[in-house]
Structure 1
């Protein structure tokens, strides 16, 4: 099971990958980064993408229905429960930003951020691979 650095290096092997980060969406801190940053500053990009992730994860419109058997008893408590959102995709003219939430046993406030070049990348493949990496990622 890969740690943060190994996971980020694996993400960068995806066609069209420009940069990647593992970010804590509650604090906005980058736990690890690799490659380029969309705005030239990995820490600022982490804080900005954390805002987007937090908004998506905490919105009642995206909450799982109460009748869904996979919902946690802590559904209303965002801290400690898996967010109801798997990933967020933001499309720009030049690229894609994929924010993939990582479920952990201790806290689900981490996501993988991949910045993908639109001309060279494959959005579907990147989303699938990010999901696989998020499942294997070990946070220690």
Structure 2
């Protein structure tokens, strides 16, 4: 049974547990987490963590997500120079946490959709969750390289992230 969370004035999102259950149903899924990239804390986890430690995995993937979302190398034209979001040091190109109106093409959303890291034995898919407020949440799916399907996982994780839109 899918459980939804109510966040005030009629805003409903699928529960984190339901989202993680769906992620773990993907072929080759080894572990999944919903992580806040500002704090590095896991909001929910399922399966086994990369390296064997949920907290360390969340903190380390948050560093990668933060770099991709905030550094001008990856998002040179995406931000209009607005005030930096939570945990951002400022400067040109910063502000990935500043929410809704400053985003990439189309004028909204985060400038980075996802980050994919290939390792010798697996794939890590980090997919940002776009919201209308100061969001710093991403989904992390860890796939086995031999049994996972990276293309399918990327599509499905994006669909899960879209359903987790909070605003």
Question: What is residue 89 of structure 1 aligned with on the other side?
Answer: 116
- C-alpha RMSD of the superposition: 2.0
User: Which structure 1 residue ranges, 5 or more long, are not aligned?
Assistant: none
Deviation for aligned residue 1:108: 2.2
2:50 is the alignment partner of 1:15: no
What is the rounded CA distance, in whole Å, between the counterparts of 2:128 and 2:80 in structure 1? 16
Deviation for aligned residue 1:93: 0.7
Instruction: State how many pairs are aligned.
Output: 136
Distance of aligned partners of 1:41 and 1:76 in 2 relative to their CA distance in 1, 3 Å threshold: closer
Question: What is residue 25 of structure 1 aligned with on the other side?
Answer: 37
Deviations 1:73-111 (A, max 9, x none): 847422222431110011001000010000112222000
2:152 is the alignment partner of 1:114: no
Question: What is residue 42 of structure 1 aligned with on the other side?
Answer: 54
2:17 is the alignment partner of 1:5: yes
User: Which structure 2 residue ranges, 5 or more long, are not aligned?
Assistant: 1-12, 83-92, 100-108
Q: Give the 4+ runs in structure 1 shifted more than 3 A.
A: 71-76
Bigger CA radius of gyration: 2
What is the rounded CA distance, in whole Å, between the counterparts of 1:131 and 1:97 in structure 2? 13
